[in-house]
Structure 1
Amino acid sequence: MRETARANTTRKGVFRRALRPSLIAILLSSAMVSEPFLTQAIAQTFSFNSVTVEGNKRVDAKTILSYAGIARGQSLAAGQLNDAYQRIFASGLFETVDLVPQGGTLVIRVKELPTLNVVDFQGNKLVKDEKLTELVKSRSRLVYNPAQAEADAAQIAEVYRVQSRLAATVDPKIIRRSDDRVDLVFEITEGKVVENEGISFVGNRHFSDRRLKQVLQTKQAGFLRQLIKSDTFVPERLEVDKQMLRDFYLSRGYIDVQVVDATGQLSRERDATFVTYTVKEGQSWKIGRVNTVSEVEGVDAAEFAAVQKMRSGVTYSPSIIENNIARMENLALRKGLNFVRIEPRLVRNDRGQVLDVEYVIKRGDKVFVERIDIEGNTTTLDQVVRRQFRTVEGDPFNPREIRQAAERIRALGFFTDAKVDAKPGSSADGVVVNVDVEEQPTGSISFGASFGTASGLGLNLGFSETNFLGRGQSFAVNIGSASDTKSSGISFVEPALLGRDLKLKLGLSYDEANNANALYDTRKIAFSTGLEFPIAEQSRLELRYKAFQDTVKDVTSTSLLLLDEGDRGSEFGSGIGYIYTFDNRVTGLNPKSSLLFRFGQDYIGLGGDAKFFETTALAVAETKVFNEDVTLRAVFEGGAVKSFGGYDTRVTDRYFGNGKMRGFDTNGIGPRTADGDALGGNFYATVKLEAEFPLGLPEEYGITGGVFYDMGSVWGLDANPDGVDSGAHLRSAIGVSVLWTTPIGPLRFNFSNAIKKESYDEEQSFDLTIATKF
């Protein structure tokens, strides 16, 4: 039913509410109009020998009389008659109610509300009827209730408000039908999405608007506004933005920062907003003197001071204090000191703008964790949430540990929200930790496209689930195909093997290259497994095993080296190794700088044909300068393969420097045959120096610029029957980049120029990379 609703509106108060209690009816029916007489009439009382009900069809007369509460022969004042009327009308069953005295009889005349025949929606395109039907409480065959219709209209409007359609209107109307029935129609005007046309800041002197915009959840609308959803106006985001701004400043030493206000003003047309954040920055403070004292008898303060990592002169940050408290409290637990708390006391030195920090070791209250209650998880198992706590039932209660557990739960990525709080338990020395989570989808099916000037167009299909079967496990399957390559892989990760911080990794992969630009093809099949665990606060170690079968085939080259490698066919290898990782990007003391370092070694020779040692290293250092508007980055990467036992490496073992250096084509550097085929090398090393900076364009466009300088080399062969150049010749290139962060993936345009090269190297002056997921 989609006919236009007639003008019988059902808004609250539109129906005639015939408010005529008996006393008012008497006064109006008589010519008692003088003020003295009116006052006298209102003060009198009434008594009725009988009470009758008229007009009711569905509602029993006894029910109506029970609402009225008037007994036969009861003396009533005018106010009591009005109360009776209000009780009947408040039942929500009647369209009109009249109390009419007729001599000694009181007649209660009612008109019942109609029955709902059809509930329909008109004008909605973005939200389907099915969803709105589930949302409203007005239902067919129920009694029509104007108040409920208004509440349903407000609920529908809320759906559109969450989608930033603040101009949406919902008008409930009725169409009269026969047999005392009505159709209820919600006429919906969806309106336009209210976008943030402008985000501005007041009071920021140390950080630019562009830098502060990067902190916010709220974004400003750009020319891709149809795809970007974060640029719509959601009032609830403003409070989150205020907290994120405050945390940003606090982590940089601005202890007096105040985010005074965050307001969103609607345009006159109600189709756009302008958001303004007002901040009072204050000044950045540094750490002054650091001291540790003990108020617990028998506890050596010097022993606790030795584990804290804080020095004078560094910028103050709450995370620095929290990390040191955690170290000291962990030491107390290792020493069996329960209910010991570390209290930081900060003393301001306004003259030098430094904070003196004193860590006080003291006795805390003897409070235990009575139990941990978890609610809201329908898919995720309790154990996944519970293992984020370092505390179990019966342990001493530590508020800091509960806060950190809440952060770990949120970091899982399984929940849109996670609230963790502690409430009093059944006894004075117990607390109950309540965890209330709201789950979100964790699985995805992705279709991707990639393009490279050398590899051409490639397609990728993948499935991933980060919370497999609700156990917190990761499972992924990926299949890819390009013009001359095929690849597929399956991976599985158990993040908490045996309930401990022990990560189990399993992987299986298949890669085949039918090289259109080379006179040989390769195929690789590999299986790997590993165990990863922490060895320090910022360091982890992975022990791993891998087995593989590599094949070099279809060799048509004139190279004696490649022909020999092709004659060897498929070769099997297996071995063990380790990889050490240091990463301070999350727990580092300086929010403007970070360091990532990886070092790994593998011994391949546990049976099979392949026998070699492999060593790899990666170091990435990054810092932000000029009030964090410019990012400087240095990347070193290298690898070495050393064969033994009479084994010579093949193209499947060696490095090619693919993507390691800009300015050169895929397989563009390193030893090369007379036919032009890249042979790879046993060694490679690259250094990349780059800077990223704003181009003056609006931040919401996501376009920044960069400059880079890359240098490195690929070299070394075990056997060289062709006499090719396998020396360690330095290559280098400079260039500029345009980086564009889009809703469908990151794009990078590199314009390069090789300034140091060999005559047989293959250059690439322009490169575009796009990775897309739908």
Structure 2
Amino acid sequence: MNSRISFGVVFLSLGAVLFAQAPDQAFPVRAVAVQGNRILQAEQVIAAAGILPGSTVKPAQMDAAMQKLLTCGYFDKVAYDYKPQDQGYALTWDITEVSTFYPIGFEEIPAKIADVKAILKKFDPLFGDKIPATQEVLSRYEEELNRALKLTDPVDRVRGQLATDAQGNLVAMFRPKRELPTISSVDFSGNRLLSLDDLRPLMASAAVGLVYREPEFRDILDIKIRPMYEARGHVKVTFPEITATPAKENAGLNLKVKIVEGEEYKLGEIRVEGEAERTDDWLRVGGFRQGVTANMGEVDEGRRKMEAAIKRNGFLDAKVTGKRTINEERKVVDMDFKIDAGGKYQFDRLEIKGLDLISEPEVRKMWGVKAGSPFNPEYPDFFLNKLREDGVFDNLGETKSIADVDRVNHTVAVTLVFKGAPPVDPNKTQKRPGPRL
């Protein structure tokens, strides 16, 4: 929650002195403007203040409108100025909004989200997709929702608070005061291809113990269960029904997921945008096997192999994206890949740390990449592993490579770091002392 000090200030133009000196006299408002707003629209602020162009107001009403804005929870500071215009006055609101607005969220509200938002929008013109999480705003909104939805039971009444959503993002959350139940167990029906012994352990480790929210639970199904079916060519598997019943052994919920496995699909055509003449090459690089079960995990692994192959030629920013097209008639999955190679990077220079004056020149001679050559991001670690496998250093300890990528000039400088092995415990037999690094 935000705690704030609000200020109200009235700025009088010289031409408005008569207005200030005639507290009981009403004056017409010809125009209304807003300045200082960052997130809110001027129309929202004007509607919230309640003084519109064409209205006739007294000074006391102006002060009341300013206090209304100051106490609504959206502003840290509110001031107004008015000047003569067309036998009336032009009013300007000068506002400073609360520093942070948060996305708004709703959980377990007994109404459609669109209807809940409509209630709050009608109640407060300032309401939007993001709101301040000030106590004034949260209290006003929860009171209006409880009134409009006729929520009288203490555990059903809506409470507003700053909370985290399933992704860990801060949101202004409105939900009943009762605690959300957690997932006690997950079971399945309709499964034939995969057994319950295949499915239950995955969900037990991923979902049991979590607060049950259906959208987040479906995300877990897509992450844990869907890939198992797609690896077997069942690319149209669905989870049309989730039944939740109270658990007898605790206060949680037992969930039962209905699975519609669908049919098995084969891998169809592989197309690479702009590379049609090299399709056979890409089939080999990606390891794609047309006509076999469409294992979408293997397809994505093939996409990564294509991307890695392009990067090995110096295109470090390369991205390969794939789009699947399901052909219902032929029962195949066709794949269209798009290659965005980006700029080509060249090797610039090599730095070596941790070697003595004798060893460093020898390692430089072994380094196989010349300045100006396309940079292969896999080569530095390959080189270090080769040194270890060939036994170039008997007491070689930790090694690592650091690539300093210049994305403006498309060059890469590589630093190789060497460390000797830890001291040998004198109480243990040393098989081969070897020279120090």
Relative to the length of structure 2, the TM-score reads 0.39
Greater share of residues in strand: 1
Structure having the higher Rg: 1
Relative to the length of structure 1, the TM-score reads 0.25
Higher RCO, 1 vs 2 (CA within 8 Å, ≥6 residues apart):
2
